[in-house]
Amino acid sequence: MGVTVIGILEFLNFQYILKLQKYLIWVKWGYRQKMKYTNMRPWLVWWMYAVAVGHLGMGLVMTWFGHLPLLADYHQSMIGELGFQQEIAQAKAMQLWWVALFGATLQAFALFMLALIYMGNRYRNARVWCWLMVAILLWAPQDIFLSLQKSAWLHVWADVFALVVIVPPLLLLWLLDRHSKES
């Protein structure tokens, strides 16, 4: 029986490799030819610049304007989700401090994003797009996991939205620049 299971696994693995090879051939020849004649790359780069500037703006808001009444409901809901009583002033002060601290971190991340986007665009370096994807894909699952532990659904949905908005353009930019180096 062990030989049969191993044989089936080898067959399935071989079938998977064949499918992967067909896909890579499609990406290399068919997809490349379609993308070669479009002006998609500048739009993708501008989209990534907009995402990075959005992160910078959101970081500034969180650091310097997080105490405004506009965000009071958000702070109250987070205090409740973390298990503190709504009336405790220290819990609200701690929440405001954490949000401001995270805002400053987000500003730094946005500046790094802007620098990497500039370098990826200027030098058409596929590795830059790949590293940005790695950073997002390293951050998102951890952030989603930690948010789910506290039932912070707003954060989970924001993380999923960030993944959808950021990863596909980076993947396309990586493919385009990787293929442009091969030609």
28 and 47 share one domain: no
Structural domain of residue 17, as residue ranges?
1-37
Question: What was the pLDDT predicted at 102?
Answer: 94
Q: How far apart are CA 30 and CA 139, in angstroms?
A: 33
From start to end of 41-173, where are the E strands? none
What is the tens place of the pLDDT at every residue in 149-183? 988 898 999 999 999 999 999 999 999 898 775 54
* 5, pLDDT greater than 50: no
Mean predicted confidence (pLDDT) in 109-116? 97
Count of domains observed in the chain: 2
Segments in the chain forming alpha helices (H): 2-25, 32-36, 40-65, 72-81, 89-123, 126-149, 153-182
Do 46 and 95 belong to one domain? yes
User: Can you say how many angstroms the Cα of residue 12 is from the centroid of all Cα atoms in its chain?
Assistant: 32
pLDDT in tens, 14-36: 555 555 555 555 555 555 555 55
